[in-house]
A and B are shown apart, each in its own frame.
Chain A
């Protein structure tokens, strides 16, 4: 009961959604459109669990005065405050959107922009001509970097941007396609094993039994 029923549901849904793909009929479209909504709804219920987990962990930190507990208060105020302002209203000028625009967006964008620093430090630290392969990687990276900025005047014309574009369009694209085809096969194989109940770790148990 505890394992067989979920496995059976999984099998049925997997087959149904595979077949659905090939059926253009209105009934099939109805199923597809609704399925997309349903899957999101299931995920949102899980999100509530996630939020409860977040709140629980930080509350425990505060109660037990664990290391860095004052910051847990910040997280709790953040989550509860956003929820309260959110159920108040989410119009364009609502407190909720102000929080979003002036707290969440700037911090997210700043985290994202840290990449400019990290991409520089990673290039310095790791692009070393240790082996033949590493050297290829390094040279391709340097060519494309130089080809992307306007240096035609200093580096003798258009050849560098052209070369950079060619490297991106051919060798790079070939490698990407090769990876993607392999990934597609791996994904189909994994999905098949899940539908057939061979891979059942999503049940939460070990892989067998």
Chain B
């Protein structure tokens, strides 16, 4: 393989190096890349949102809705697009100091609707699903007396881990939850349990940190591969 002849690959490679220069220190190359990235990504997003959402979900239904209304005299569900259209315009009132407060109506709609979704979503995904998951893992209960029987009969690492992992999971969840008690002093039973909770939290954070290293290094390998192979053609 040879060095790339595509101008775009060269541009991409140059910008990649500009960003990496930040590792040494802040410098004009990084500043250039940073401002370019901010500008391009902000513009990109608006274009994409406009084509993927505003046109199909606002303009098109409004057009068909009003066309049927005026030609056939019939109101269709498409006309509901008036609602987000109006709310959107209310948001834009923020540009005019005198009527800027009207944007709060749209914000009330936006925040209110999300709170309803958040209440049900949190109960389902963050609370009930986690309680269920504490007891049942991969369609099996996390522990049973039978597993302890195995441990006694055939004592070894495997049976020991098999028996204690489940109870440890339940203990960990209870202890971590106890750490989050705010309205009592962490003393006595609550304090002791909360301390166990901290142990679980710290082991969990350490494990989670260690686990992430591989994914991050993969990203770096990806970029270095781009520079060495797509751009310079040193390796293939």
Contact A174 B200 (CB under 8 A): yes
Contact A191 B210 (CB under 8 A): no
Contact of B203 among A44, A110, A111, A140 (CB under 8 A): A140
Contact A194 B111 (CB under 8 A): yes
Contact A116 B220 (CB under 8 A): yes
Contact A184 B123 (CB under 8 A): yes
Given that A42-B84, A136-B199, A145-B213 are known contacts, is A10 also in contact with B112, CB under 8 Å in the complex? yes
A29 to chain B, nearest CB (A): 12
For A113, what are the chain B residues with a Cβ–Cβ distance below 8 Å? 216, 219-220, 222-223
Contact of B39 among A8, A78, A123 (CB under 8 A): A78
Binding site for A on B (CB under 8 A): 8-9, 11-13, 15-16, 18-20, 22-23, 31-51, 53-54, 57-58, 77, 80, 83-85, 87-89, 91-92, 94-95, 101, 104-120, 122-123, 125-127, 130-131, 133-134, 161, 165, 168-177, 179-180, 197-214, 216-217, 219-220, 222-223, 226
Binding site for B on A (CB under 8 A): 2-3, 5-22, 30, 34-35, 37-52, 54, 68, 71-72, 74-83, 86-87, 90, 96, 98-117, 119, 123, 133-134, 136-145, 148-149, 164, 166-185, 187-188, 191-192, 194-195, 202-204
Given contacts A14-B119, A83-B43, 13 further A-B contacts (CB under 8 A): A2-B104, A17-B120, A44-B46, A49-B91, A103-B11, A115-B219, A134-B202, A144-B207, A144-B211, A175-B205, A177-B176, A184-B127, A185-B122
